[in-house]
Amino acid sequence: MVGNESTEIYDIYGVWHVPFWQTQPFIIGVWCTAILIAIVLFYLLIRFFKARKRPLKPWEWANRELDALWVTRGFTREDGRKFYSQLTEIIKMYVEKRYGYPVMSATDIEFLAYMNDRAIAPALMENLKQIFEGVQEIKFANLNAIPENIERDFALAKAFVANTISKDRA
């Protein structure tokens, strides 16, 4: 070293630059964004679990479908055909869902014969016979459906479903 030179290094510039991720507004923004994302996720989770429905039991499904059919019934010839077509379809779907019998593709006569071969209570079989006995003529031969018969057959279908409800009813 020559003379009175010092060994210190002097800064030319002061420390002015602070990285943006270390500034207070950035940190506050990150926290606000994190809180907002957490709120949105919480809302979506609540909505998902509330929207998730438990599967309907076969008798609950059948009662819902029968009630909807009763509301939309009519009193013309075409309405009678439509009513009985839907009524027999609901009964067949219920039997298939409830007991696992493959009866959806069966005709009404085949359905009755199939159910007659199964271990079904005689009272329930009689209900099914009363419902299905005149349906062929109404559905395919354009006979008029008598409103009293519509009411009777609807009541018999509801009774059939009510009498085949599982004992555990879970």
Which one of 25-34, 52-61, 85-94, 121-130 scores highest in mean pLDDT?
25-34
Q: Which residue has the higher pLDDT, 13 or 62?
A: 62
Calpha distance 34→128 (Å, rounded): 62
The model's confidence at residue 61, banded by pLDDT at 50, 70 and 90, is confident
Q: Write out the DSSP string of 43-94.
A: HHHHHHHHHPPPPPPHHHHHHHHHHHHHHT--SSHHHHHHHHHHHHHHHHHH
Element containing residue 30 per DSSP (H, E): helix 24-51
The more confident residue out of 85 and 74 is 85
pTM of the model: 0.64
Least confident range from 55-59, 103-107, 116-120, 163-167: namely: 163-167
Q: Across residues 43-64, what is the average pLDDT?
A: 85
